[in-house]
Each structure stands twice: as C-alpha cells, then as structure tokens.
Amino acid sequence: MSTNQTQDVKVVNADPSALGLFGLAMVTLVASSQKLGITDGTAFIIPWAIFLGGFAQLFACINDSKRQNVFGTVAFGGYAFFWFGVATSWLIQAGVFGQELASKVDTRQLGVAFVGYLIFSVFMTIGAMETNKVLFMIFFFIDLLFIGLAATSFGIMPEVSHKLAAYSELIIALLSFYASAAAVLNAHFGRIFLPTGKAFGIFKK
C-alpha cells in the first residue's frame, strides 16, 4: 500500500539589500563626481550606471521579491530601471544610436521623467520611515536629488539646482555605503555593529 505525501520546502534567501545599497552607493558616488566638477563627462559613468545602478539593484529586487518584501522589491526595481533609463539617455545624447536621434534630444523630457521619479521617491520615503532612519535619510536626499535634477532640466535656477543635485547625490552615496556596511556586518556578527536607527513608528499598527 502506497501513500502520497506532500512536503512543503521553504527556500531561505539571504537579504540582498546590502548588494543593492552598494550598487546605489557606487553609481551615485561616481555620478556625483561629475556634477561636483571633480570629473568630466558621462562616458565612464555609464558602465557603473548599467552594472551597479542597474543590474546590482535589479538582482536585489528579484531576490527581495522571493522574500515577499514588497517595499524592497519596488524600491530596488524602480531605481534599477531608472539607471538603465539614464544610461540609455546618455548613450543617445552621445550619438551611439546615430546623430539624427542625438540631434532631437530635448532635456525637458528627461525633466518630466525626474518629476515622475520624484513622485515615486516621495511615497517611498514615507515607506522608509517604517524601516530605519538611515534608509529614510537616503530617500530624503533622493527626493532632493530629483528636485535638483528636474529643476536643472527645465532651466529653473540652474546653478542652485545643479548644486542641490550634486551634493544630495554625494550624501546619498555616503549614506548608502553606511547602510550597506550595516546590512552586511550586523548580519555577519549577529548583533548591532552599525546602528541604523529604529523606525519612526508613525504609520504601522
């Protein structure tokens, strides 16, 4: 006599947020160097935008979805595709897809995209308030970054808005390095090695 038995197998994935945050840290660090005038052009930002800003965060997105982490999935996925879009925009502007397409570039369209991502970042900032304070600060400066980028694209107070974007992006990089290190070392040592601050506790029941 045979019996059919069903066995549930639970696959546990490691928290991918450290890699996603590292990808964000690297691409914003490199990109901010150009905005701050330390480096020139976007040619050598593009690989970091694609592989660290794009693929590293996409990897974190996919693995967060396996962990049923909606916030992490949407955050990492949303910003991964942002960097894919920005890198492609730079390639178009550089004439990689032909001079005819490059000649028709209208940076105001990129400004509209930045406004869209500002809206996205604002409601994600609200969500970050219930994660930890370091993540909240990252999202807060992402909001400022998109305000600066959008204003620059539309020619609104270009010098001020450019500086706002540049310094915000650098701060995002530094905070993301810290958050990535905290995610790795706190899990590795099994204790709070680098504090990230408790959630605000305003919205969750």
pTM over 0.85: yes
**11: pLDDT strictly greater than 70:** no
Q: What is the mean pLDDT of residues 180-204?
A: 96
- Reported as a pLDDT band with limits 50, 70 and 90, residue 12 is confident
Which residues, at least 6 apart from 11, have a Cβ–Cβ distance to it below 8 Å? 66
- Kindly state whether residue 9 falls inside one of the protein's structural domains: no
pLDDT score, position 3: 60
- Kindly state whether residue 198 falls inside one of the protein's structural domains: no
User: Do the beta carbons of residue 144 and residue 117 sit within 8 Å?
Assistant: no
pLDDT tens figures, 29-38: 999 999 999 9
- Kindly state whether residue 104 falls inside one of the protein's structural domains: yes
- Kindly state whether residue 21 falls inside one of the protein's structural domains: yes
User: Do the beta carbons of residue 83 and residue 53 sit within 8 Å?
Assistant: yes
- Reported as a pLDDT band with limits 50, 70 and 90, residue 4 is low
- Kindly state whether residue 25 falls inside one of the protein's structural domains: yes
The 10 Å Cβ neighbour count of residue 130 is 15
Total count of residues recorded for the chain = 205
Mean pLDDT score of the chain: 95
Q: What is the mean pLDDT of residues 104-128?
A: 97
Which structural domain, as residue segments, surrounds residue 48?
17-186
Q: What is the mean pLDDT of residues 183-198?
A: 97
Q: What is the mean pLDDT of residues 165-178?
A: 98
Q: What is the mean pLDDT of residues 151-163?
A: 97
Comparing C-alpha atoms, which of 128, 169, 176 is closest to residue 146? Answer: 169
Q: C-alpha 93: how far from its chain's center?
A: 22
Pair of tokens at residue 151: 């204003």
- Kindly state whether residue 109 falls inside one of the protein's structural domains: yes
Number of structural domains found in the chain = 1
